[in-house]
Structures are given as C-alpha cells and as structure tokens.
Amino acid sequence: MIFVDADGCPVVDIAIEVAKENNIKIVVVKNYAVKLDDDYAEIVSVDISRDSADYYIANRIEKNDILVTQDYGLAAMGLTKGAYCINQNGFLITDDNLGEILNRRHINANLRRKKKIYTKFKKRNPQADEDFERNLKNLIECIRS
C-alpha cells in the first residue's frame, strides 16, 4: 500500500498514476481544505489542525508500505514501523540517512530563528517530478523482488 501525505505535496497525481499502473492500493491523506478527487485512490480528509494527516498515517501504516512525505518527523514514524519513505523529489529516506536529515533540519531552524534568515524555496522544476516518478517505480520494483 502507498500512503501520501498530501498537504502541500506536489506529486499526488504522479503517485496515484504509478500506484494505478502497478495495481497498488493508495491512500491519499489531506486536510479537508484541500480539494482532491480521484476514481482510483482512497481519499481521506482529516481535520485541518497541525499534524492531523501525519497522525492518521502513522496510526495505519504497516511494514513494507510506502510513504510519500516531505515531513521528516512523519518519515521517522513510518521507518519505525518498517515502511519505505520517499520525499516529493524522489529522495529515499532511510534509517541510515534520517539522523543526518533531522540534524540538518534542526541546525537550519536554529539559524533561521537566531539570525532571522529565511530561505526562499526555488520553483519546482520538471526534473524533480521525473526523479520522483522514476525512484517510486524503482522502489516498488525492489520491494516486489
């Protein structure tokens, strides 16, 4: 099964299409303010409060499921349950790299808070979508073999 943390996720449609191509059940979890409809995916609407989608997923994800998220805290919860985690750019989040990712996030948050430095995110490019799709397909293939 694939779970998608859909709040702010730019690759929901790609994830659904890949799931459909591979005949894998997909659950897209979003807050009720996000408009989303699909004939294949199970769409779950949760409360708009912070982390509602994360808790919904964390309580249901199981070993060997795939989690699509840009939230590293949720990824950590998924990994503890034996899930595979991939972010919106196709980067695989693993037990081996999670500590470094969380440490970098903590350091950057402290720098922003102390120096009031705010990073502007670059516009998403088509290559990121291609990387995500390719790596999601590769992950599915690895899990199946």
- State residue 15's pLDDT score: 98
- Whether 110 shows a pLDDT value over 80: the answer reads no
- Whether 137 shows a pLDDT value over 70: the answer reads yes
- State residue 86's pLDDT score: 97
What Å distances lie between residue 49 and 18, 21, 24, 27, CA to CA? Answer: 29, 33, 29, 19
Those residues with Cβ within 8 angstroms of residue 59's Cβ, 6 or more apart along the chain or in another chain: none
- State residue 43's pLDDT score: 96
- Whether 30 shows a pLDDT value over 90: the answer reads yes
Q: Could you count the other beta carbons within 10 Å of the beta carbon of residue 91?
A: 16
CATH code of the domain occupying 2-144: 3.40.50
What Å distances lie between residue 84 and 7, 90, 107, CA to CA? Answer: 19, 12, 25
Q: DSSP for 112-127, please give it.
A: HHHH---PPPPPP-HH
Query: What residue spans define the domains of the chain?
Result: 2-144
Q: Could you count the other beta carbons within 10 Å of the beta carbon of residue 29?
A: 24
